[in-house]
Structure formats: structure tokens, C-alpha cells
Amino acid sequence: MKIQIADNIRSMRKQHNMMQEQLAEALGVSIAAVSKWERGAAIPELGYIAELADLFGVSIDVLVGYQVQKGTAKDLEERICKLQRSKEFEEAAVEAEKTSLVFPL
């Protein structure tokens, strides 16, 4: 999963015709903080992520670039089986561990 918050903050700020200074002022942070977020040198604290999402009119998922890959237990089982069939055992084990956290017995 690739998080794309830096690119998304920059592009959404531009879509809203805002300068970094205006975004910084709206959030009560420094211009340097906004610059770091947009360059990927830092990630905003969770409270700022929520404020950014609200300001841009998007969900937090959209702001950070998160997309659910396959969410049902059956989908995850099929993915693990596919990894096993292709002898990608380490990846299958990682997926199985993640799945056990989402769908505990």
C-alpha cells in the first residue's frame, strides 16, 4: 500500500487555488510545515489530516490515497491461495497474518 498524502495535499491545494501560505494560515501552521508535507519530508499529525480532508471536502482515505484492495474474507482467502500456488510463501504468510487481524477466529 502506497500512501500518497504529499502529492494529494499539493494537488488538492492547487485545485482549490490556494498558495502554501493560505493553507498554512487556514490550519494555523507554518509555511515550512506545509512545504514539508508536500515534499513528503514530514507527515501531518492526525488532527491536521482530518482538518485537511474537511477543508478539501474529501474523506481521509482519499486524502492519504488509501484504497481498500479486497475486503471480504473470501477475497483475502483467494489472494493467499494464489500466493501459495505461485510459491510466494513469505508473502502468503504476511497476508494470512494481516487477515487474522481483520477476521479473527
Give the pLDDT score at 71. Answer: 63
Where are the extended beta strands (E) located within the chain? none
The arithmetic mean of pLDDT across residues 24-39, rounded, is: 97
* Cα(11)–Cα(46) distance, integer angstroms: 19
On average, the pLDDT of the chain sits at: 88
The arithmetic mean of pLDDT across residues 81-86, rounded, is: 90
Give the pLDDT score at 75. Answer: 78
Choose the weakest-confidence range: 32-36, 37-41, 73-77, 84-88: 73-77
Split at pLDDT 50, 70, 90, the class of 105 is: low
* Cα(45)–Cα(56) distance, integer angstroms: 16
**5-64: which CATH topology?**
434 Repressor (Amino-terminal Domain) (1.10.260)
Cβ–Cβ under 8 Å, residues 31 and 21: yes
Domain extent listing, the chain: 5-64, 73-102
Count how many Cα atoms sit within 13 Å of the Cα of residue 22 in the half-sphere of its side chain: 9
3-state class (DSSP) for residue 76: helix
